[in-house]
Amino acid sequence: MIVDCVPSGNAVRREAGNALFYVLLGVVLFAALSFIITRQTGNDGLTEQLADDKANIIASQMINHATSVKYAVEQMLANGSTVEQLDFIRPGEAGYDTPPHQHKVFHPSGGGVNVMAVKPEHMSSPTTHWGYQKGRNVEWTPTTQTDLMYSVIDITEPICRSINTKLYGNIAMPAQLTSSYGAVFEYGSTDVDFTAAICADCVGKHTACLKHPSLDRYLFYTVLVGR
């Protein structure tokens, strides 16, 4: 008697189905393992990349804001305002809505510049804020007259480095000050001129980000009017 040893169609299908199941199971397990490894090894890199991207965005916003203020000030001076008359009062502050408005940088009837609010992610200190300095001379401007500067103090290091990279393509910045920037850039302090002795790397630069000489504190400045 001859016995038929050829597997039936159902048996073939079962074997093929089992093989496919094991293949799919292997693919799923491999994908899961790859995901776990990626999570374990790649989170730091991804987090760092996101932080760098955010710093780049904020740096661009700060540079653009300072440029807008500089352009508005130039237009206001061309229209008859003087440096001494320029008013940096902000919406919500006492006197903002009291005429005249033509000398107010942040008023629609003056310079028309929108205020850039300093947010927690910009800060290395709760005191972070934009401000202006009228009573200092910048040594590398044409004369010894007092100039007009605009700055934001105590921003984070990644933002500071991103600002200088965008401006100068040099991540080795920020420039190191030889003394506290408080005398030159703090508001309400005694006027101190901005000189090469305070920041040798700043000479010739009308905008840059700087580092406090002994603390992890950073400052972005722009010379709005160099006289």
Alpha-carbon gap, residue 72 to 131, rounded angstroms? 16
Question: What span, in angstroms and rounded, lies between the C-alpha atoms of 134 and 127?
Answer: 20
Identity at 64, one-letter amino acid code: N
Q: What is the pLDDT of residue 179?
A: 82
**What does the pLDDT read at residue 167?**
93
How many Cα atoms occupy the beta-carbon half-sphere of 104 within 13 Å? 19
Question: What is the pLDDT at residue 39?
Answer: 60
Q: What is the pLDDT of residues 20-49, one digit of tens each?
A: 666 666 666 666 666 665 565 555 566 566
Render pLDDT for 53-67 as a digit per residue (tens, 0 to 9): 899 999 999 999 999
Residue ranges of the chain whose pLDDT lies below 70: 1-50, 171-174, 187-189
Helices (H) and strands (E) in the chain, counts: 3, 5
pLDDT of residue 94: 96
> Rounded to whole angstroms, what are the CA distances from 103 to 43, 76, 77, 83?
50, 7, 9, 9
Tell me what pLDDT residue 3 has.
Answer: 47
Which of 175, 218, 214 minimizes the C-alpha distance to 58? 218
Residue partners of 176: CB distance under 8 A and separation at least 6: 199, 201, 210, 211, 213
Give the pTM: 0.76
Q: What is the pLDDT of residue 15?
A: 60
Q: In this predicted structure, what is the pLDDT of residue 213?
A: 84
Which positions ≥6 away from 221 have C-beta within 8 Å?
Answer: 149, 150, 151, 185, 207, 208, 209, 210
Tell me which residue of 128, 160, 153 sits closest to 56, measured CA to CA: 160
